[in-house]
Amino acid sequence: MKIEKSTISAAGIWAKDCELTNLTQRKELKINYHKDEDDSYWIIECKNIVAYKITNEEFSRTGYLMKLPVDGAFFEILDSPWMQEFQGDLTKIF
């Protein structure tokens, strides 16, 4: 399993840099949050999401999430055991 820290400007530079303010899921996933470092507000919209997990710092230090870097707020976990459960026919999910 590989963990990549997000390098976009919307990502935080320490674990609690970003505070979730709103989460909406309809046809897409929409995340609103506040970035403490520069007091900015961001909206991230994702389409065609099969699955996602959002955890706070307290829960990110258990199981395979223990490998998360401590200096950042957004990560992509590649080849995770959890995502491998969705390897079947994804057309049934949509």
pLDDT of residue 38: 94
- Burial class from Cβ neighbours inside 10 Å (0-12, 13-18, 19+) for residue 33 reads buried
Give the residue, 48 or 37, on which the prediction is more confident. 37
Whole-angstrom distance, CA of residue 26 vs CA of residue 30: 8
Whole-angstrom distance, CA of residue 13 vs CA of residue 72: 5
Kindly state the average pLDDT of the residues 13-31: 85
Structure token digits, residue 83 = 């995502």
pLDDT of residue 94: 46
- pLDDT tens for residues 48-59? 777 777 766 666
pLDDT of residue 17: 85
What single DSSP character describes residue 49?
-
Domain ranges, ordered by start, for the chain: 2-92
Report pTM.
0.63
Least confident of 19-23, 45-49, 53-57, 77-81: 53-57
| Nearest C-alpha neighbor of 53 from the set 87, 34, 29, 69 | 29
> Is it the case that residue 89 has pLDDT exceeding 70?
no
Cα distances (Å, whole numbers) of residue 27 to 24, 57, 79: 10, 28, 24
